[in-house]
Chain A
Amino acid sequence: MATMKFMCDAERCIECNGCVTACKNANEVEWGIQRRRVVTLDDGEPSEVSISVACMHCDDAPCIAVCPTETLYQRDDGIVLHDKDLCIGCGYCLYACPFGAPQFPQQSAFGERGKMDKCTFCAGGPADSKEEEYAKYGANRIDEGKLPLCAEMCSTKALLAGDAQEIADIFRQRVVRRGHEDGGWSGNPRAEADSLAHDATRQG
């Protein structure tokens, strides 16, 4: 079975926020909730990069581990979904998530949290009917054989969604063409000054 993943190619992301808008549009999420966000590092400097972030559908998801009610669960294809009927609004998933994916409507008194909402990889969630599913979780594009709308609408194809193996292959090809030892994710001490200008073809 496929394992579904997102991957954002930081060298391609142009910070257009199209993914954010597409997500909002596809899922009609509540006011104040934004399932996807774009983070820009070194904004305005030559080294500026942008990365689109939402739920990364972790293999060993911290949110699932700390949820007191089993609101969060992982499907066989790796997509992490949430059951709004079980959510008690304790906020533990928000404490645990490294990517800031879980969000809570906080319109009630004393900032009491409502039902958690997060990216579903456009795979909806548990509900009795299609209408209920759409109202609670937004689109279920996976059921229709489509990929998440954020990735589908990405203008530079920076944001990739799909089977981990396939998107890894695409990214690998890009890296080979670009000629960077480390891909978009530097930090390898062998990589010369972590520079994207590193030329793999001239590697002795």
Chain B
Amino acid sequence: MSIAMRDPWRLVLSALLVALLLAAPGLGRQALAQATTPGAANPGQEAAFAVPAVDADTWRQIRAGETDANFRDSRADSTYNLINASGETWRQIRDRWVSPFGAIAILGMLAMILVFYLVVGRQRLDEPRTGRKLLRWPVLDRALHWSVASLFLLLGLTGLLLLYGKALLRPLFGDGAWAGLMIGTKTLHNYLGPLFAILLLLVLARFLRHNLPRRHDLAWLRQGGGMVGKGHPDAGFANAGEKLWYWLLASVGLVVVISGLVLDFPNVGQARDTMQWANVIHALGALGLTAVALGHIYIGTLGTEGALEGMTHGYVDESWARQHHNLWYEEVKGKTDQAAPEEAKDPSSAASRPPG
């Protein structure tokens, strides 16, 4: 160090001399090789100077998506490997399995509902309406239900458009209308998703007390909700079918919500592979839920006489309650026998009735 400080030129000169001595034999060889094959590259010579190539193990690592400390990518913040084979896997899963699964699940469910409706028909009230009403869904419950329901429908429709729109609707549209439709679709889906997540949590919390499993739920399931065997099986405020729907939303629904949030906010550093799997899980769960929701919608509207009014006006007829939710009916009657009738007690009931 001190020598270099005192006499830097001597150091440079000696370094040059060493470099020249080291390079001389190489230069000599090169000159010789060029002399023997003037004007043309010599395969043997080029091969002799070549370094060993990246070995098979490196290519295996690349295919597996592993990178080592000596991997460089000139793009800023790149999270890519040289080749990302998982993309093609994701494409195959999505296009070959998820899309057909969804179509089969949803169209199959529609077909089953249609056949059921044509064969079995609407579930009528066994006894005529009494005209006496019981409060089943207070206004907050109904508001929550319909908020979640309308968001579910919107998210379901936009989700289906994202998956099937290109095949089904694209041929009907010009570029301009199609672009507008799809940009609207994606924006709605991405912005309503988090709102749905919050409302789903609220509705799950609010309805939890109705949906705790009871022993009689097993009998209800064994009898297929009254379709198998004689008589109507016991049911409390919620029957076992409703409870299954609740717990499906509480499990698969939450998975769909979480995987959706992973896809919706790509700025928290999740890897592309994570998003590929989140997309598959999100699509499978949502398509399954959509299929089951069709059943829920059918049973709640066309399928059961007297069911929808509970969720629209809040009140159900006593004969409906006795037929479908006998344990709840007895519980409510047991309470109201000592007190004033439910309807008279609730001042909001008149306001929530439809006009006429």
| A interface with B by C-beta (< 8 Å) | 11, 15, 17, 20, 32, 34, 37-49, 51, 53, 62, 65-70, 83, 85-86, 88-92, 94-100, 106, 110-113, 176-180, 184, 186-187, 193-202
Contacts and interface: CB of A to CB of B under 8 A. Distances in A.
A194 B55 contact: yes
A72 to B, nearest CB: 11
Contacts of B53: 11, 47, 49, 180, 184, 186, 194-196
A94 B44 CA distance: 44
A187 B63 CA distance: 12
Given A34-B76, A187-B56, A90 B70 contact: no
B52 A98 contact: no
13 contacts: A20-B74, A39-B73, A42-B70, A48-B51, A68-B182, A91-B266, A95-B87, A100-B78, A110-B264, A178-B50, A194-B53, A194-B54, A197-B50
Q: Looking at chain B's contact residues, is the secondary structure mostly helix, strand, loop, or mixed? A: helix
A39 B78 CA distance: 10
B272 A44 contact: no
A27 to B, nearest CB: 15
B70 A43 contact: yes
B340 interface: no
B330 interface: no
A37 to B, nearest CB: 4
B163 A37 contact: no
Interface stretch (B183-191, B214-222, B230-238, B343-351): B183-191
B75 A37 contact: yes
A68, A106, A112, A186, most chain B CB atoms within 10 A: A68
Contacts of B268: 111
B80 to A, nearest CB: 4
Given A91-B275, A95-B275, A47 B47 contact: no
Given A47-B55, A97-B84, A177-B43, A89 B186 contact: yes
Nearest to A45: B70
Which 3 A-B pairs rank lowest in CB-CB distance, beginning with the nearest?
Answer: A111-B267, A100-B80, A37-B75
B85 A98 contact: yes
Nearest to B71: A41
Given A177-B46, A184-B53, A90 B186 contact: yes
A73 to B, nearest CB: 12
Given A186-B54, A196-B52, A95 B182 contact: no
